[in-house]
């Protein structure tokens, strides 16, 4: 019914060991978070009464449900966009469009093939979530409501990623536009629901996935008819919007592809003079050769449209998201909420922290995606093999790519820094803390750029490189923060909570080592993989304790500079690039 693309993927996926590894790691991570929360709460007070058990089940449900939505929706969106873009990079999408396959079979088949992994992970976690009602505090209706909202969100995120991938030619364009569109969708829903307080509750829930998720997780969802109606309206809205997006993709897939960059129109002129003097914008014309720099890799990144001309659209989308965050911070400064100090653990953070942190995380994700695609595009375009047989040195390649990524993504790095300077000039933070934040941001941008290049050089499949690189950034930015959320929720003695969190962080370090050093393990990568989660955990703890922020900056500087050097030194000295091929069934997913 869904076409041969879906049938082929459904046949091949069960043969890949990676399929069961991803599901097992995902379920194990959720189970470890559940066990960590139990050990943290049991360290402060024993679960001897039914009220303690119900409190624990309710708290863990409110932590795990948003985490699952964020992880699986991100996996669906990025996976769909990168899967379609990889088909374009290998010129196999054009071959599919030359067959008798209809637009529905190509677009919907590609979407459903991509959603096999996140949907299977969602269904696999259902038995784990159904154990929470046994503890009390959570009903099976709440669990089912959350899973329905999550499934609808995954379907919407995958639909947007698939259609954007069909539209845009470059992988970075597809991933960045998908992320920005989803952020604008979530942000606009929150702004509308926040600004128009007289909206009916059902309408406010229908336009905001986060509000719909928390409403479905609320115990009042099964009691309030309006809340249940709002959740149902959100599911219907998400499915309807997904169908509209897919309809546009089905209609336009053969118009968008092959793109103008691939399709060359060369009308034959009568004379050679006509070719030079009266050439149309789509024909060849003579022009003076441009002078190439001493480092041709850096010259191509800076002086050409290496990532496509539509990268300007990505910059516009990020600027739009920046304006939304800047407007929120400006209103907080004018109302005085930004000047309220944050308390210690268990109290609210400063009001300006969350908007600024959200903008910073998004900029880190986009810069990392740009870096990993700077290498995977060369590999998928079969240009990396040619570069390796030239007289280019490893230093020219690595630093050319690194500096080129920093130049192309300059708006994504400069705008958050300008926002930090604005907060410092208005007295929200001190000049000293402003310097710490700016220097720490520079350190993190260098880290995510080198991380993307490292993943692109070591992973054969482009989609695997993208997921490994973005997964590392996600764990360091969000995963450890989730651990801290559990610690803040279950207040107790810090020394009793430290042991279970060390187990969780060491497990994350093992996952980092498997991601960063699976092909070329080294002592430096081993130390960085296990030390970086500890450094990040220490930095977040010191920030929450409101101690001297010099400790936070120094910890980040040492940990992330060492990790950046651990990835950069082997690339500069050995330049061992994986040149294997993944053309068979056991290759890349998609």
* The two three-digit tokens of residue 32, written as one number: 């470890």
Same domain? 344 vs 233: no
Q: How confident is the model at residue 269 (pLDDT cuts 50, 70, 90)?
A: very low
pLDDT of res. 263 = 58
Angle (CA) 521-527-529 rounded to 5° is 75
* Calpha distance 224→227 (Å, rounded): 5
Residue 164 has pLDDT above 90, yes or no: yes
Same domain? 227 vs 345: no
339-379 pLDDT per residue, tens:
776 554 444 467 788 888 888 889 999 999 999 988 888 88
Interior/surface letters 401-423, b for 16+ CB within 10 angstroms, e for the rest: bbbbbbebbebbbebbbebbeeb
Domain range for 209 is 4-256
Looking at the chain, the whole-number percentage of residues with pLDDT higher than 90 is 24
Between 145 and 190, the higher pLDDT residue: 145
* Calpha distance 153→242 (Å, rounded): 9
Choice among 233-242, 322-331, 572-581 with the minimum mean pLDDT = 572-581
Helix (H, G, I), strand (E, B) or coil at 65: helix
Q: Are 462 and 89 in contact (CB under 8 A)?
A: yes
Q: Residues with Cβ < 8 Å from 176, sequence gap 6 or more?
A: 314, 317, 318, 366, 369, 370
Between 388 and 435, the higher pLDDT residue: 435
Domain assignment of residue 273, yes or no: no
Q: Give me the DSSP letters along 153-188.
A: HHHHHHHHHHHHHHH-SSHHHHHHHHHHHHHHHHHH
Domain assignment of residue 286, yes or no: no
| Sign of CA pseudo-dihedral 562, 172, 367, 121 | negative
Residue 496 has pLDDT above 70, yes or no: no
Q: How confident is the model over 67-76, as a mean pLDDT? A: 91
Helix (H, G, I), strand (E, B) or coil at 386: helix
Same domain? 216 vs 322: no
406 secondary structure, DSSP code? H
Domain assignment of residue 68, yes or no: yes
Same domain? 301 vs 239: no
Same domain? 365 vs 236: no
CA distances (Å), origin 259, targets 147, 263, 316, 374, 585: 38, 6, 22, 20, 28
* Calpha distance 43→37 (Å, rounded): 10
Residue 285 has pLDDT above 90, yes or no: no
95-151 pLDDT per residue, tens:
888 888 898 999 999 999 999 999 999 999 999 999 999 888 888 889 999 999 999
Q: How confident is the model at residue 402 (pLDDT cuts 50, 70, 90)?
A: very high
Same domain? 228 vs 322: no
pLDDT of res. 571 = 81
pLDDT of res. 201 = 77
Residue 231 has pLDDT above 70, yes or no: yes
Q: Among 201, 224, 256, give the residue marking a domain's end.
A: 256
Same domain? 247 vs 304: no
* The two three-digit tokens of residue 188, written as one number: 């606009």
pLDDT of res. 584 = 40
pLDDT of res. 270 = 45
Same domain? 251 vs 315: no
Domain assignment of residue 408, yes or no: yes
| Cis peptide preceding 121, ω within 30 of 0 | no
Domain assignment of residue 240, yes or no: yes
Domain assignment of residue 29, yes or no: yes
pLDDT of res. 287 = 65
Q: How much is the mean pLDDT over the chain?
A: 81
Q: How confident is the model over 36-62, as a mean pLDDT? A: 75
Same domain? 193 vs 326: no
Pick from 355, 353, 359: which is nearest to 318 by CA?
359
75-91 pLDDT per residue, tens:
999 989 988 988 887 78
pLDDT of res. 484 = 59
Q: How confident is the model over 247-276, as a mean pLDDT? A: 66
Same domain? 138 vs 15: yes
Residue 438 has pLDDT above 80, yes or no: yes
Domain assignment of residue 588, yes or no: no
Domain assignment of residue 261, yes or no: no
The total of structural domains in the chain comes to 2
Q: Among 233, 256, 279, give the residue marking a domain's end.
A: 256
How many angstroms separate the first and last alpha carbons of the chain? 19
The predicted model scores a pTM of: 0.82
Residue 19 has pLDDT above 70, yes or no: yes
Same domain? 201 vs 322: no
Q: Among 199, 231, 256, give the residue marking a domain's end.
A: 256
Same domain? 246 vs 335: no
């Amino acid at each position: 019914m869904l076409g041969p693309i879906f049938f082929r993927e459904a046949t091949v996926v069960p043969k890949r060991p990676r399929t069961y590894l991803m599901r097992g790691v995902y379920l194990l991570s959720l189970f470890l978070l559940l066990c960590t929360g139990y050990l943290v709460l049991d360290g402060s007070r024993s679960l001897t009464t039914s009220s303690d058990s119900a409190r624990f089940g309710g708290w863990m449900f409110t932590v795990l449900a948003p985490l699952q939505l964020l992880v699986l929706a991100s996996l669906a969106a990025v996976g769909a966009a990168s899967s379609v873009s990889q088909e374009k990079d290998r010129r196999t999408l054009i071959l599919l469009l030359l067959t008798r396959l209809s637009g529905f079979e190509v677009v919907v088949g590609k979407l459903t093939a991509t959603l096999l992994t996140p949907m299977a992970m969602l269904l696999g976690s259902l038995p784990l979530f159904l154990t929470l009602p046994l503890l009390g505090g959570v009903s099976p209706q709440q669990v089912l409501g959350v899973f329905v909202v999550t499934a609808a969100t995954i379907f919407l995120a995958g639909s947007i990623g698939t259609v954007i991938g069909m539209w845009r030619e470059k992988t970075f364009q597809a991933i960045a536009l998908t992320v920005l569109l989803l952020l604008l969708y979530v942000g606009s829903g929150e702004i509308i629901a926040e600004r128009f307080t007289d909206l009916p509750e059902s309408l406010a829930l229908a336009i905001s996935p986060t509000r719909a998720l928390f409403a479905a997780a609320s115990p009042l969802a099964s009691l309030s008819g309006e809340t249940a109606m709002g959740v149902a309206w959100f599911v219907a809205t998400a499915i309807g919007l997904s169908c509209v997006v897919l309809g546009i993709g089905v209609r336009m897939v053969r118009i968008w592809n092959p793109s103008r960059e691939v399709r060359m129109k060369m009308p034959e002129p009568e004379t050679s003079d006509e070719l030079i003097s009266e050439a149309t914008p789509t024909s060849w014309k003579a022009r003076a050769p441009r002078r190439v720099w001493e480092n041709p890799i850096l010259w191509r990144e800076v002086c050409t449209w290496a990532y496509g001309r539509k990268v300007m659209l990505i910059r516009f989308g990020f600027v739009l998201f920046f304006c939304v965050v800047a407007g929120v911070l400006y209103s907080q400064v004018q109302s005085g909420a930004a000047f309220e100090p944050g308390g210690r653990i268990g109290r609210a953070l400063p009001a300006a922290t969350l908007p600024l942190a959200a903008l910073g995380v998004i900029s880190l994700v986009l810069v990392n995606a740009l870096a990993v695609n700077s290498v995977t595009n060369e590999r998928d375009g079969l240009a990396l093999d040619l570069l390796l047989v030239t007289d280019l040195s490893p230093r020219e390649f690595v630093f050319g790519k690194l500096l080129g990524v920093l130049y192309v993504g300059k708006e994504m790095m400069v705008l958050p820094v300008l926002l930090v300077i604005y907060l410092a000039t208005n007295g929200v933070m001190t000049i000293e803390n402003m310097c710490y934040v700016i220097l720490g941001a520079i350190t993190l941008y260098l880290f995510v750029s080198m991380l993307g290049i490292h993943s692109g050089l070591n992973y054969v499949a482009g989609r695997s490189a993208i997921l490994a690189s973005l997964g590392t950034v996600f764990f360091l930015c969000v995963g450890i923060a989730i651990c801290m959320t559990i610690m803040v929720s279950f207040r107790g003695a810090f020394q009793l909570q430290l042991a279970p969190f060390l187990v969780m962080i060491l497990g994350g370090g093992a996952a980092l080592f498997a991601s960063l050093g699976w092909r070329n393990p080294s002592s430096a990568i081993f130390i960085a993989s296990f030390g970086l989660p500890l450094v990040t955990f220490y930095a977040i703890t010191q920030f929450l304790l409101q101690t001297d922020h010099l400790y936070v900056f120094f910890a980040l500087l040492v940990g992330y500079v060492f990790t950046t050097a651990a990835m950069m030194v082997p690339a500069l000295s050995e330049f061992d690039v994986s040149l294997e091929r993944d053309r068979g069934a056991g290759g890349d997913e998609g």
